[in-house]
Structure 1
Amino acid sequence: MSHAVLDRPHRHEPTDRRRPIDTVVMRASEWLNAHSITALRVSLGITFLAFGVLKFFPGVSPAEDLSIATIDKLTFGVISGSAALLLTAVTETVIGLTLTTGRFLRVGLIVLAGALVGIMSPLVLFPGDLLGDGPTLTAQYVFKDIVLAAGGLVVGAYALGGRLRRDS
């Protein structure tokens, strides 16, 4: 006994006709794949550069006191005051320049990895000052660094040869 076979396309067979929205989505995906990591790298670089340059001018950066206190604590008082502020300014500026230009990117990412210890450490070193009666403006400044750190991870993964893929 023979069985009749229905002539209908399988669910996963490509179709010759695409809906206009599918074409737009496909092109947007291609553009994002081609440019989003670069946009992230440059925007992170500009952010670090802006924060770093401000620290070259005492009294201008809103994070000046926090930067000095953090470096002082992390170096057990060996680097403090204006030297701590200068170290932070130079570090953030180097990170910013390497990310913005893409030159010496791996060096900049290594500096960023080390700097992230200092960037995130106020959450551990000064929790009372940051979160005492609720999050302070300084705490919000530190919390935004979590996003900068995550962006740095993405740029670092890409610079080391990783490619975009969906989380499972």
Structure 2
Amino acid sequence: MTTVPVHGAGGVVPASTGRPAPLTTLLAWETRAEAAVKASLQRWSIPALRVSLGAVFLVFGALKFFPGVSPVEELVSRTWEKLTLGLVSGHVALVATAVIEVAAGALLIAGGAFARIGLAVLALAFVGILSPVVLLPAEVFGPVGPTLTGQYIFKNAVLIAAALVVASRVLRGPVRR
């Protein structure tokens, strides 16, 4: 080991080899890699969430155009019947729901100003999706927890949260920090 005098240190210290220690190099590389991943996520994660949210509504909405395909046909019909005081039910309710969901999905996928409109349509869809909690509680809640129908409805909390994240990016307005 080579030593060099250091003034004021009261002794000598090893001379630097000019290369950082392997751990320092590894940590610096990890920091740069993490920053690159974060930059990529900041750029692409919310658009990916917007498109995937749109795709979910587009596909599940499209299923409702075909009688006997969607597992929630009866629930949709009864919910519309309660919401409209008996004016809309059956196939009309299913088609109306399909149109709303497909429109929301397609608009979200299109992005830009269309995504803002899609979010408004999606908000309307969420009213219908969550309505059975209030309008048909016996179907949503069982003796010890949510029924299978209730579980189907409550999983929409994740979709609502996703819509809120997308809205935070696509809605215009001042940014507060």
How does the TM-score come out when normalised to structure 2?
0.78
- Per-residue deviation, 1:131: 1.6
Larger deviation, residues 47-56 vs 120-129: 120-129
Question: Relative contact order (C-alpha < 8 Å, sep 6+): which is higher?
Answer: 1
User: What percentage of residue pairs aligned between the two structures are identical?
Assistant: 51
Preserved CA contact (<8 Å) 2:108 2:118? yes
User: After TM superposition, which residue ranges in structure 1, 4 or more long, deviate above 3 angstroms?
Assistant: 161-166
- Residue 61 of structure 1: aligned partner: 70
Amino acid at match of 1:140: Q
> Matches of residues 1-168 of structure 1 in structure 2 within 5 Å?
19-102=28-111, 104-133=114-143, 134-161=145-172
- The CA distance in 1 between the partners of 2:54 and 2:37, in whole Å, is 24
For the aligned residues, what is the CA RMSD?
2.4
For this pair of structures, how many residues does the alignment match? 151
Amino acid at match of 2:165: V
How does the TM-score come out when normalised to structure 1?
0.81
- Per-residue deviation, 1:51: 0.7
Q: Deviations over 1:138-158 (max 9, x none)?
A: 212111111111111111121
Structure-2 change in CA distance of 1:163 and 1:64 (3 Å)? farther
Amino acid at match of 1:50: V
Note the residue ranges of structure 1 that are not aligned, 5 or more in a row. 1-16
Q: Which has the larger radius of gyration?
A: 2
Note the residue ranges of structure 2 that are not aligned, 5 or more in a row. 1-24
Q: Deviations over 1:91-125 (max 9, x none)?
A: 00001111122262222111111221111111122
- The CA distance in 2 between the partners of 1:64 and 1:36, in whole Å, is 33
